[in-house]
Amino acid sequence: MKRSVEEFVVNAYFGLPEEVVFCKKCVISNQRPSSTVEFKHTNKDKKATIGFGVDGICDACRYAETKDAQIDWQAREDALVRLLDQHRRSDGGYDIIVPGSGGKDSAYTSHILKYKYGMNPLTVTWAPHKYTEIGWKNFENWIHKGGLDNILFTPNGKLHRYLTKMAFLNLLHPFQPFIVGQRIIGPLMAKKFGIKLVMYGENQAEYGNKTEENYKPTMDKNFFSISDPADMVLGGVKVGDIIKEGEYSLNDFAPYIPPAAEDLERDGIEVHYLGYYLKWDPQECYYYAVEHTGFQANTERTEGTYSKYSSIDDRIDMFHYFTTLIKFGIGRATYDAAQEIRNDKITREEGVALVHKYDQEFPKKYFEEFLDYIDITEAQFLETVDKFRSPHLWDKQDSNWILKHQVT
């Protein structure tokens, strides 16, 4: 019997497809959102999800095959050298901005640009919510052992905590304000220092976000199109509405307001991805960072996955992935395993086993610190989490929540 649109809206939140399908090559499902930072429980807010072809292979896996078979990487590197030559300086000034935390990806990006391609990068860091011990150690190694200049930018801590709290309560996305800052810190610093080239590492399209973006070397300028900063939404709340409460002014939000696309164009600022020019492999970035910048993996695996070296600088990071598990049925082990399957580091069978073992693990280590950081109780945390469990993904049996669909 054909089902009505209303039934689908009730059973599947966030505009997700109600039928859960897993990629036949990796372990990702069609529940992975592709390009949004805000979700609501209404049909009109439906967002696109990761694409699957008739062969049951996800877009990210198809692009991984393209990387191996169809891209002339020597030609791409030649294009990189031409781009760098256009911006290269010999007067002692910085000629490129590299945003990053000192993790494996930004360590690779900044170091190779300086020491292989002869650029003079200024690295810029949007500070984590709360550094981990290993994260701070790797940050210091990046600068001191890697031999790089850096500006560590920390936004208004009181405001950032508030925005993180609102993002958790309203969107179940505690990383939303952080992601905004992380994406715009490069262009903002380029404007401030009069530098024309910004180079991020990999494009998130590598993993399924708008895969057509993989075929463009530059960041989508739509991200920098905000007509009125007061209408910008942070933490699920308009900036103007937060200002009306009286505690903050528009000036307090300066670090979160992206430069206008037309201003970047007028100033000749270009925002590129190194992953367009050099074949991107996260594990190879890790090996490079270990050798050249003193990067160290953690002594223990990250809760929710099997990895010890990816996204290990922020104590809040694992709650970001826990919330993706709740909203989309996709936890951190799924993301890590899917990526490593595509890069031929593990088999799909190994990936499936790792997902089953770790994906639903609750992040206990920093739980009390997370509650304190966003100033909520454990009861508020659980109530908020349960509110965002989509009925097409979760079933409550007695007092336990059961994920209905798991990769096989």
Does 41 have pLDDT greater than 50? no
How far is Cα 175 from Cα 92, in angstroms, rounded to an integer?
A: 37
Q: If you count them, how many residues does the chain have?
A: 408
**Token duo for residue 392:** 């097409």
C-beta separation of 28 from 57 below 8 A: no
Residue 150 falls inside a structural domain = yes
- Residue 205's pLDDT band, with cuts at 50, 70 and 90, is low
Q: What is the mean pLDDT of the chain?
A: 90
Residue 361 falls inside a structural domain = no
C-beta separation of 33 from 328 below 8 A: yes
Residue among 385, 277, 392, 367 at smallest CA distance from 325 = 385
CB-based burial, 85-112: b 16+ in 10 Å, e otherwise: eebeeeeeebbbbbbbbbbbbbbbbbbb
CB within 8 A of 312, min separation 6: which ones? 103, 132, 134, 135, 138, 297, 298, 302
C-beta separation of 142 from 121 below 8 A: no
Residue 245 falls inside a structural domain = yes
Hey, what amino acid is at 378? E
C-beta separation of 260 from 193 below 8 A: no
Residue 26, pLDDT score: 96
Residue 227, pLDDT score: 80
- Residue 10's pLDDT band, with cuts at 50, 70 and 90, is low
Residue 349 falls inside a structural domain = no
How far is Cα 259 from Cα 144, in angstroms, rounded to an integer?
A: 31
Residue 17 falls inside a structural domain = no
Going through 268-399 in order, the beta strands assigned E by DSSP cover: 270-273, 394-397
How far is Cα 278 from Cα 346, in angstroms, rounded to an integer?
A: 22
How far is Cα 378 from Cα 382, in angstroms, rounded to an integer?
A: 6
Residue 200 falls inside a structural domain = yes
Q: What is the pLDDT of residues 104-139, one digit of tens each?
A: 999 999 999 999 999 999 999 999 999 999 999 999
Domain of 246, CATH number, reads 3.40.50
Residue 269 falls inside a structural domain = yes
Does 163 have pLDDT greater than 50? yes
Q: How many domains does the chain have?
A: 1
Q: Does pTM top 0.85 for this prediction?
A: yes
Q: Which long-range contacts (CB under 8 A, 24 or more apart) does 395-399 make?
A: none
Residue 152 falls inside a structural domain = yes
Distances, alpha carbon 87 to alpha carbons 91, 195, 208, 266, in Å:
12, 9, 31, 16
**Token duo for residue 159:** 């405001």
Q: What is the pLDDT of residues 224-253, one digit of tens each?
A: 777 899 999 999 999 999 999 999 999 999
Percent of the chain with pLDDT over 90: 79
Task: Give the domain extent around 133.
Answer: 72-277
Does 325 have pLDDT greater than 60? yes
Instruction: Indicate if the alpha-carbon torsion angle 131, 136, 138, 140 is positive or negative.
Output: positive
Residue 311, pLDDT score: 87
